[in-house]
Amino acid sequence: MNHVVFRTGGDWDSTTLFNNDEEVMAVQLYVELHAGRDIDGEPCKGGIGLGGEISAFVRTQDEPDKENGIFPGRLELICPGHTIGIENTHPGFDFGFTRVWHNGVEVTDEVMDVVVDINAADNIVKVYLTLFKAHWLAADEVATYNIL
């Protein structure tokens, strides 16, 4: 089982990637998770419980063309002001077993998107999280947090 930890202070020199406590010399960390939409693709309460899809891999410097899957396992992203955790320990990687945290709070039922593309080869740095926030008396809202 993988336990991947990505940590950055906001620049390349402060960025590290570890898997099971061993440093990984990576070219790219890529995660794309989409959930929390109704049958018409509109945002709604339910997050992972509504189904969705995820792609998550690391490409190493030794084998830059090979996508090494992260799940089953756990991914932690530690960035200035934000932490994101994604976990799926199901042996067959059933999407419904995915759990998501933002800054220590579980947001599995509110998550719509988690996108991570840290690509050293192409100098791409993109990390964001989108949550659906249902309100009982006020209008529901969709909030996107640009992490990096």
Taking only the tens place, the pLDDT of each residue in 94-141 is 999 999 999 999 999 999 999 999 999 898 999 999 999 877 777 778
* pLDDT value at residue 135: 73
The DSSP result for the chain, as a single string, is: -EEEEEE-SSSGGG-EEEETTEE--EEEEEEEEEE-B-TTS-B-TTGGGG-EEEEEEEEESSSTT--EE--SEEEEEEETTEEEEEEE--TT--GGG-EEEETTEE-TTTEEEEEEEEETTTTEEEEEEEEEE--SSSPPEEEEEE--
Indicate the domain borders of the chain: 2-146
- pLDDT tens digits, one per residue of 87-103: 999 988 899 999 999 99
